[in-house]
Amino acid sequence: MSSGLRLFLRQKKAVAGFIIIAALCLTALLAPVLAPGDPAQRVGRSHQPPTAEHVFGTTKMGRDVYSQFVWGARPSLAVGFATGLAITALGTAIGLIAGYFGGRTDAVLDLTTNAVLVIPNIPLLILLASFAGTVGPMAIMAIIALTSWPWGARMTRAQTLSLKSREFVVAARMVGEPWWRIVFVEILPNLVPLIGINLVGSIIYAIVAQTTLEYLGFGDPLNVTWGTMLYNAQNSSAIIVGAWWDIGAPAIGIAIVGLGLALLNFTFDEIANPQLRSGPALSRWLRLNRLRARELRAAP
């Protein structure tokens, strides 16, 4: 077993997060088995509370919430992960180019990065989405990716800048390695932990943004996703009439994805920056600290 994997398995939080995400992905993949039939089909009366037949109840339109939840996991997770990947790829590429090439390239890219960073994202997203009209998952992906790469780019640029002056990179340049080899073989592997953090953070952000857009009605209402489920439930005033299951199912789904990703992210952060670590290794430090405090207090 590699040391990275062992380090990962020792972190209970990371394992819990991983299990949550894996279980949800499995649910999405196995949708045809777990909930056969069309989720958009009318199967019962309007807003029925959970029963044995419809375990999550029914929507205002008499659709099975469980079936919608299971099928809705597919586009929700797929768009979230794909968008997260796109954001990370864009951010890493721009950060790497800016950091490695420096000079005027860097000046322009860094200015762009910082400028896009301070523009409020969600209002910009809403503007783009409303001009695009009702948009499919691909358009949502593109819009989110194009507005949210700067965080990753900034982190990557800073790290690349510090790596560029390290001896192994200087040596590679002196040996005459071409720029692409230095970037991809010498620098990129050292950015892997950073890219991991960036990826998980971007997926979290993508899911938040996607849910917000779909909740506001910019998604395709015929496409069953967790976000459009929320939108439809809101439109049928599910909360006011007390149909908590209608809003609860997609809301809990999204919250659990957030929980799983957050647990993973927390661990990645701790692995990449050991200073932030909490947990068994630190209890000794804490005990010493307490002891010292007590002694200080006891001393007159």
Partner 1 sequence: MRIPLRRLGVYLAAFLFAIVVNFTLPRLMPGSPVDSMIAQLGPRATPAAIEAIKARFGAVEQPIWLQFIDYLKGLATFDLGVSVKYYPQTVTEVLARSAGWTAFLVVTAVIFSLCVGVSLGAVAAWRRGGRFDAFVSPFSVVLIAVPPVIIALATLFAFGVTLRWFPVGYAYDPSLDPGINFTFFGSVFWHAIMPVLTLSPYMIGEFQTTMRSSMISVLGEDYVTMGRAKGLGDRAVMFSYAARNAMLPVMTNLALMLGAVFGGSIVTEIVFNYPGLGLTLFTASVARDYPVIQGQLLLMTMATLGANLLVDILYGVVDPRVQEGRT
CA angle 298, 299, 300 (to 5 degrees): 110
Residue (107 or 171) nearer to partner 1, CB: 107
Residue (67 or 148) nearer to partner 1, CB: 148
Tell me the H-state helices in 12-53: 12-29, 31-34
Contact criterion met (CB below 8 Å) for 121 and 145 = no
**Secondary element (H or E) of residue 258:** helix 244-272
Shortest Å, Cβ 106 to partner 1: 13
Residue (139 or 182) nearer to partner 1, CB: 139
Shortest Å, Cβ 140 to partner 1: 14
Give the residues lining the site for partner 1 (CB under 8 A).
Answer: 13, 111-112, 114-131, 204, 207-208, 211-212, 215-218, 230, 234, 239-240, 242, 244, 247-248, 251, 254-255, 258-259, 261-263, 265-266, 273, 275-276, 278-279, 281-283, 285-286, 293, 296-297, 299
- 3 state SS of 127: helix
Rounded distance between C-alpha atoms, residue 2 and residue 61, angstroms: 52
Residue (187 or 228) nearer to partner 1, CB: 228
Contact criterion met (CB below 8 Å) for 69 and 39 = no
CA 193, chain centre distance (Å):
16
- Tokens coding 39: 């989720």
Shortest Å, Cβ 247 to partner 1: 6
Find the largest Cα–Cα distance for the chain.
Answer: 77
Shortest Å, Cβ 264 to partner 1: 10
Provide CB contacts within 8 A for 61, sequence distance 6+.
Answer: 42, 46, 232, 236
Tell me the H-state helices in 216-243: 226-235
Rounded distance between C-alpha atoms, residue 299 and residue 292, angstroms: 11
Shortest Å, Cβ 58 to partner 1: 18
Shortest Å, Cβ 18 to partner 1: 14
Residue (99 or 182) nearer to partner 1, CB: 99
Residue (187 or 226) nearer to partner 1, CB: 226
Contact criterion met (CB below 8 Å) for 266 and 86 = no
Beta bridge partners of 63: 42
- Tokens coding 85: 């990947």
Shortest Å, Cβ 30 to partner 1: 24
Shortest Å, Cβ 52 to partner 1: 24
